Structure 1
Amino acid sequence: MDVFNAFIELLRQTGNVTKGQVDIQEYSPLWMLKQEVQKIVRSINKQLREKSIKTKVGAFSVLRELVVVLPDCLADHIGSLVPGIEKALSDKSSTSNLKIEALIFTRLVMASHLPSVFHPYIKALSGPILSAVSERYYKVTAEALRVCGELVRVIRPNIEETVFDFRPYVRSIYTAILLRLANQDQDQEVKECAISCMGLVISTFGDDLQMELPTCLPVLVDRMGNEITRLTAVKAFAVIASSPLKIDLSCVLDHVLAELTAFLRKANRALRQASLGTLNSLVVAYGDRISTSTYESIIVELSALISDSDLHMTASALELCCTMMADRKFNKDVGLSVRQIVLPQALVLVRSSLLQGQALQALQSFFAALVHSANTSFDVLLDSLLFSAKPSPQSGGLAKQALYSIAQCVAVLCLAAGDNKCASTVEMLTSILKDDNNTNSAKQHLALLCLGEIGRRKDLSSHRNIENIVIESFQSPFEEIKSAASYALGNIAVGNLSKYLPFILDQIDNQQKKQYLLLHSLKEVIARQSMDKAGQVELQDQNVEKILRLLFNHCESEEEGVRNVVAECLGKIALIEPKKLVPALQVRTTCPAGFTRATVAIAVKYSIVERPEKIDDVIYPAISSFLMLIKDDDRHVRRAAVSALSTAAHNKPNLIKGLLPELLPLLYDQTVVKQELIRTVDLGPFKHIVDDGLELRKAAFECVDTLLDSCLDQVNPSSFIVPYLKAGLDDHYDVKMPCHLILSKLADKCPSAVLAVLDSLVGPLEKTISHRPKQDAVKQEVDRNEDMIRSALRAIASLNHLSGGEYSPKFKMLMNTIMKTPNLIEKYNAVRCE
């Protein structure tokens, strides 16, 4: 057992340091483990034949951890393991612990391997598994039901194609699960597992169980009426409704819809979310069988869920509205009901400054679906959207994000309505820009954003001089109008690069005062092109040389905003034309001007994206020259290099792993307080101390945090914790916060390294939780201090999991202090339960 436990710990650490790795490189930890699989299995099989129950439990624990760390590694060894599983489940001498371990391993191995691997052994495995379903001990039964769920998927992995004769096993599986499903007097865990498993059985074997459906479906409906099991039952019906077999639910459909509609009013958020998903699946599969009154009941409940207080719920509710409006032949009144009941809520939502992501996309789809539905006028919808942008007497003007949301909805609405409506809307928006002429800035602002969003989605070159009309808005005295004009011009150019891009480039060359705004327009163009593969040839062939010349001329701008825009443009162009850009950027890493070196480092950051790109092979041999700017004399350059390293570690860790032995000491050096970067500013009667190295230290610690997630196998925690992390725990508020996160992470992933120096970490943590603001401190200072104490207590809670008191007397005293201080113990218990 000691050997098993040591090997399990070794497997877990291997999993920690290789998390996220897809390719197994030669001599990597995963590769080395894979070479040992055959030997491990042979040894485990030998142990499974022993009489000792404890040894068998340990053997299955090793196998379980092996499958978690190295999925699909046992494909060639399943046949040799089946007798051991069979014996563990069937032998009268087997204990509950042994059966549970054997079942957990069986479930994990089925989930992580191809179904065809198990087909020769289904007969041998199904009997013991189904016998375990009828066990008296609830934990064995629950685990056996979970295994049955995997067994169902293995037996019939593809409903369209039959690769294995599953029919001989259907009745025995169904009967075993129905017995558990129908039994009310059993543990909640067993009830939930039986419900989930029956949902899978019906959705997978429903065509073979048509005679049994009137028996088992009402039982599932009955479970929806029980507060304890209703959430699981709702999810089970979602699985059934999504089945390609189109299961006949006619005997329970109306009852299920009524229950789900009622659940949308419940306080349980998880239940409401699951009910929305199940309703969506039912409408897709059985929309032609749902009555008008049922649709109206659902729509009334949906309107109450649409608000910015829960955007995830809102997105689901709007998606369900779109699903109901999608097929008008079933119910022509749905669109009218949605317009009358849901549209007012949607128009309130679009004004929210919190609207973003999935909810914003769902709202756009909602307007596009609504304009196609019966009894709905495009003009009325457009007027409603534009009116929603007007300032209200209660809350005043709208936030910038709300205006962008309205503009995106207007654009989607116009495109959904067709070319004629889109053209008339563009004419109306351009007339606002020509006629208002600074008298109504809010109206102009929205018109520019709408033009930009429409132009991004459609070529507007048929509208004469639209680019000049937009650029005239650069003369506005209002900054928000100029910014919106820059955004609009860049997005309009995306619709027709050959016409508008040369115009923007000429304007940048000729108009010094407008260069910053025009660079923003250019950034919009390049950002869209780096994502849209179809338009890249035009950008590369005609304009890339001129763009590069312009951008490199602005690398040394005194304005940080200009340099950031230039860096983003260069990074996005590098994604399109890496063979040209990477050498050009590399040359400039030795430029005498510090701003240019910093801009180049930030450009590299923008070029390292999560998805695979052709730049990956080009930048790999050159990335060292960019990241080594971390030892530059200029702190701005060092900070840019640290930011680039952090992005690379997060998105493409394989790019930097070979450089980390050289980079890590340089990175750790950036976490140290540099006295030469601390200066005193004389403010007349006051003197203010400014730490110019603070942002760099914070960025360096955040980079280490990222490296612990992606490159743990390259980091030696012992050399980092003392002195660097220890010093960070005693630094400024902005540095302490990431250090607390790092300490929690190290306690979880490298406990022995933390335990070795735990005594030395207690002092900074104790100082943090005992700190009290001055009597005259403003509320912001008090709140920041409270956040810092809670952050430190989270780290302490992680350390306490290591049984630190046994190894560190100082830590034990710290915990005693916390437990005796009412204010601290309350916060500690709160963060521990998060």
Structure 2
Amino acid sequence: MSVLLLMSILIQEVKECAISCMGLVVSTFGDNLDVELPAFAVIAVSPLKIDLSCVLEQVIAELTAFLRKANRPLRQATLGTLNSLIVAYGDKIGSAAYEVIIVELATLISDSDLHMTALALELCCTLMADRSSPVVGLAVRSKVLPQALTLIRSSLLQGQALLALQNFFASLVYSANTSFDALLDSLLLSAKPSPQLGGVAKQALYSIAQCVAVLCLAAGDQQCSSTVKMLTEILKDDSTTNSAKQHLALLCLGEIGRRKDLGSHDHIENIVIESFQSPFEEIKSAASYALGNIAVGNLLKYLPFILDQIDNQQKKQYLLLHSLKEVIVRQSVDKAEFPDSSVEKILNLLFNYCESEEEGVRNVVAECLGKIALIEPTKLVPALKVRTTSPAAFTRATVVIAVKYSIVERPERIDEILYPEIASFLMLIKDHDRHVRRAAVLVLSTFAHNKPNLIKGLLPELLPLLYDQTVIKKELIRTVDLGPFKHIVDDGLELRKAAFECVDTLLDSCLDQVNPSSFIVPHLRSGLDDHYDVKMPCHLILSKLADKCPSAVLAVLDSLVDPLQKTINFKPKQDAVKQEVDRNEDMIRSALRAIASLHRISGGDCSLKFKNLMNEILKSPSLGDKYVSIRNE
């Protein structure tokens, strides 16, 4: 008896200590619930199948209440924890609790917080999975669906939130006993302008088309096929004057075709290509997009069709090249290879168009070559290198830009193949043709941004050549006679702008390789007195140098005052249009930001010229107010 009595006393002491401990935990960490909540998620996914039925109802009620809190991390942690609990213990949670959760989720779905929206939609999908209760489906349709249809019209919708929204519509048609036709009509209606919400942004149309495609695939082959037929009928109907309806139909066909082989629909490629004749640019662009994406679903059938059309339809060439680009970009993203028979034909066709007189065509060709290089680097890099010595300047420029499109932030197989050959492309910065030089500058800037380690060894040789591109070259300035007046055209402007923007990027990624003293005078000093398009990046560069290399800036501060003073005191002509006035205001504010950065340098007062400039700014009513506003940003 004495032993049993001792044990009961010990157990009671343990209970009391546990209660005291939990009281201390809650009193100490009560404001950090977002950190502690994942403990329930860990329990829920435990392989031990821990029974939480005794506290589950209270836990769910408390978690649901947390969704109303203003604390964002707490709401995020709550959504994740609820998801884990519902996956593990969903059959033990009552319908009433689900209804309350769904009401709270609806309030979280908005383009003002896309991360939270994605989590809320993912939890909705979890709620609908394997739930036989009609209450859940009804609650989701009445509370969450209207919010989802509002969200889909947002031009901000992208990434994980867009994927979650697509899964939401698929889950609705899968498991919530929701009519496919009703959902499809709701999606298509959301693309129409409304008096309350206005027109629909272009990005929103793409989001709607993607959701339509996912919905069709989730509903099954029969509904998918009937939807494709309905969409093609819209395109075939000559009497249709509603371009918005045709636009959406093309985007939907493209998104469905990318995910499902549409080869069973006779002549769908010809129906789509007929829209190339539309008088509306957005229709032609959508048709090009649709044709390319339909080809992704069945490369063997539709890729040869596109290649043949490019060869034989000169008037449609640009749009067809965009269709080919859609195929190539999608293959590179999915890391999928082309059929062997197609690669050589694609490359021959693209290289033939490198010399096109149309810059738009050359840019599409360059992007296609760059994306193929990601798929077939061993074949493409040598082929591109060979053409750096082509006698045609446009070809040299196109293959260099192709390299730009093959440089992405993530590590790729092409990196180790391209590394030994980088100099062959970047040294074209000293080419005699300005188009080629600008292409080399753009590629250098892309390398500096995405993969600076690949080019650091070349910078001692490249930087002087880059600085040379910032100089105004008189041979690139020409006068065009327009009859009653003459117009001066500066063909070197775009090159100088690109060169300064490249320096700006290098200051972020390769500062240790840059000698600011040799750049500030004369190159930056000259840029500060150049055209509007050149001054803007120069102001950014000056601000960065003032922050990162203050001593180098301080040494030449006097020489920088005059161009800055000239900029902030410039007055547009009295007959200047509003655009010119606004542009000048932007320029003044940009210069004042640079001046504010210079003023923060310790020792700046030693420059009498700069001190006088600051006095002039602060005494001027208009400049002084702008300066104070900028300094307080």
TM-score range, shorter chain: 0.7 to 0.9
1:569: Cα distance to partner?
Answer: 0.9
Distance 2:235 2:149 in 1: 24
Task: Give the Å deviation of 1:219.
Answer: 2.8
Unaligned runs of 5+ in 1: 1-208, 224-232
Q: Is 1:759 equivalent to 2:567 in the alignment?
A: no
> Could you tell me how far apart the structure 1 residues matched to 2:29 and 2:96 are?
21
Inter-CA distance 512–258: structure 2 relative to 1 (3 Å threshold): closer
DSSP 3-state at the match of 2:410:
coil
Aligned AA (2:399):
V
The structure 1 residue matched to 2:27, chosen from 219, 222, 229, is 219
Give, in angstroms, the shift of residue 415 of structure 1.
2.0
Which of 134, 144, 154 is 1:352 aligned to? Answer: 154
* Cα gap change, 1:234 to 1:752, in 2 (>3 Å): farther
- The aligned residue for residue 750 of structure 1 is 549
Tell me which residue corresponds to 1:262.
68
1:253/1:393 CA distance change after superposition, 3 Å = closer
Distance 1:773 1:748 in 2: 31
Q: What does residue range 286-305 of structure 1 map to in structure 2 within 5 Å?
A: 286-287=85-86, 288=90, 292=95, 295-297=98-100, 299-305=102-108
Residue 164 of structure 2: aligned partner: 362
SS of residue paired to 2:470: coil
User: Residues 586, 305 of structure 1: CA spacing in aligned structure 2 closer, same or farther, 3 A cutoff?
Assistant: same
Paired AA for residue 668 in structure 1: Y
- 1:276 is aligned to 75
Partner residue in 2 for 1:593: 392
Does residue 320 of structure 2 align to residue 514 of structure 1? no
Does the alignment pair 1:736 with 2:535? yes
**Partner residue of 1:117?**
none
1:654 corresponds to: 453
Measured in 2, the distance between the counterparts of 1:294 and 1:796 equals 60
Structure 1 residue 240, shift from structure 2 partner: 4.4
Change (3 A) 1:440 1:217: same
Contact 2:496–2:534 (Cα < 8 Å) also in 1: yes
Q: Pick closer, same or farther for the CA change 1:292–1:795 going to 2, 3 Å.
A: farther
Change (3 A) 1:437 1:558: farther
CA offsets, 1:744-800, max 9 Å, x none?
222232222222222322333333333343444333233323322332333333333
- For residue 332 of structure 1, report the CA deviation from its aligned partner: 5.5
Q: CA RMSD in A?
A: 3.0
Give the match's secondary structure for 1:491. Answer: helix
Matched, 1:573 2:372: yes
- Say which SS state the counterpart of residue 68 (structure 2) adopts: helix
Is residue 582 from structure 1 mapped to residue 381 from structure 2 by the alignment? yes
Q: Given the alignment, which residue of 226, 246, 250 partners 1:444?
A: 246
Larger displacement relative to structure 2 (707-716 or 241-250) = 241-250
> Equivalences for 1:679-690 in 2 at 5 Å?
679-690=478-489
Partners of 1:758 and 1:335 lie apart in 2 by: 69
Letter matched to residue 246 of structure 2: Q
Are the structure 2 counterparts of residues 390 and 258 from structure 1 closer, same or farther at C-alpha, using a change threshold of 3 Å? closer
Matched, 1:340 2:142: yes
Deviation at 1:701, TM superposition (A): 1.0
Amino acid in the other structure paired with 2:421: A
Contact 2:63 2:82 in 1 (8 A): no
- For residues 512-542 of structure 1, the C-alpha deviation after alignment (integer angstroms, 9 at most, x for no partner) is 2222222111111111112223x30x43x11
Alpha-carbon distance in structure 1 between the residues aligned to 2:206 and 2:227: 17
Post-superposition offset of 1:623: 1.7
Cα deviation, residue 452, structure 1:
0.7
Identity %: 75
1:237 and 1:254, CA in 2 relative to 1: closer, same or farther beyond 3 A?
same
2:431 is aligned to 632
Three-state SS of the structure 1 residue aligned to 2:67 is helix
* C-alpha separation in 2, matches of 1:744 and 1:323: 50
Give the letter aligned to residue 814 of structure 1.
L
Paired residue type of 2:511: L
TM-score by length of 2: 0.87
Asked if 2 retains the 8 angstrom alpha-carbon contact of 1:438 and 1:476, the reply is no
Q: 1:547 is matched with which residue? A: 346
Tell me how far 1:547 sits from its aligned partner.
0.9
User: Aligned partners of 1:259, 1:812: CA distance in 2, in Å?
Assistant: 59
2:471 and 2:523 in contact (8 A); partners too: yes
Instruction: Identify the residue that residue 461 of structure 1 maps to in structure 2.
Output: 263
Q: Give ranges in structure 2 of 5+ residues lacking alignment.
A: 1-16
Contact 1:646/1:706 (CA < 8 Å) preserved in 2? yes
How far does residue 632 in structure 1 lie from its aligned partner after superposition? 1.8
Q: 1:716 aligns with which of 510, 515, 520?
A: 515
Aligned to 2:7: none
Deviation, structure 1 residue 237: 4.5
Q: Do the aligned partners of 1:261 and 1:297 also contact (CA within 8 Å) in 2?
A: no
Contact 2:80 2:119 in 1 (8 A): no
Give the direction of change, closer, same or farther, for the CA distance of 1:337–1:600 in structure 2 (3 Å limit): same
How far did residue 437 of structure 1 move?
A: 6.3
Say whether residues 1:778 and 2:577 are aligned partners: yes
For residues 190 and 57 of structure 2, the distance between their equivalents in structure 1, rounded to whole angstroms, comes to 45
- CA distance, structure 2, for counterparts of residue 455 and residue 399 of structure 1: 23
Alignment partners' CA distance in 1, 2:267 and 2:519: 61
- Retained in 2: the 8 A contact 1:333–1:374? no
Task: Name the residue aligned to 1:139.
Answer: none
AA paired with 1:328? Answer: R
**1:653–1:710 Cα contact (<8 Å) kept:** yes
Q: What are the Cα deviations for residues 374-406 of structure 1, in whole angstroms up to 9, with x where unaligned?
A: 232222111111122234467775433222121
Structure 1 match to 2:203 = 401
Number of the residue aligned with 1:792:
591
What secondary structure, in the 3-state scheme, does the structure 2 residue paired with 1:688 have?
strand
Displacement after TM superposition at 1:407 (Å) = 0.7
Indicate the residue corresponding to 2:299 in structure 1. Answer: 497
SS at match of 1:624: helix
Deviation at 1:668, TM superposition (A): 0.8
Could you tell me which residue of structure 2 aligns to residue 114 of structure 1?
none
Indicate how the Cα distance of structure 1 residues 572 and 254 shifts in structure 2: closer, same or farther if over 3 A, else same.
closer
CA displacement, residues 146-184 of structure 1 (integer Å, 9 cap, x when unaligned): xxxxxxxxxxxxxxxxxxxxxxxxxxxxxxxxxxxxxxx
- Contact 1:649–1:707, Cα closer than 8 Å, also in 2: yes
1:530 paired with 2:347, answer no
The SS at the match of 1:768 is: helix
* In structure 2, distance between residues paired with 1:779 and 1:735: 21
2:35 to 214, 236, 241: 236
Residue 608 in structure 1 maps to residue 404 in structure 2 = no
SS for the counterpart of 1:690 is strand
Aligned equivalents of 2:430 and 2:64: distance in 1?
66
Distance 2:538 2:176 in 1: 58
One-letter amino acid of the counterpart of residue 131, structure 2: R
Q: Distance in 1 between matches of 2:631 and 2:58?
A: 44
Question: Which residue in 1 is equivalent to 2:12?
Answer: none
The one-letter amino acid of 1:334's match is V
Structure 2 counterpart SS, 1:375: coil
AA at the equivalent of 1:565: V
Q: State the AA in 2 paired with 1:409.
A: C
**2-side partners of 1:319 and 1:694: how far apart?**
50
Residues 310 and 320, structure 2, Cα contact 8 Å, conserved in 1: yes
C-alpha distance after superposition, 1:345-364 (max 9, x if no partner)? 32233233443344433332
Change (3 A) 1:469 1:242: same
| Alpha-carbon distance in structure 2 between the residues aligned to 1:686 and 1:210 | 92
| Distance 1:737-1:298 versus aligned 2 partners, 3 A rule | farther
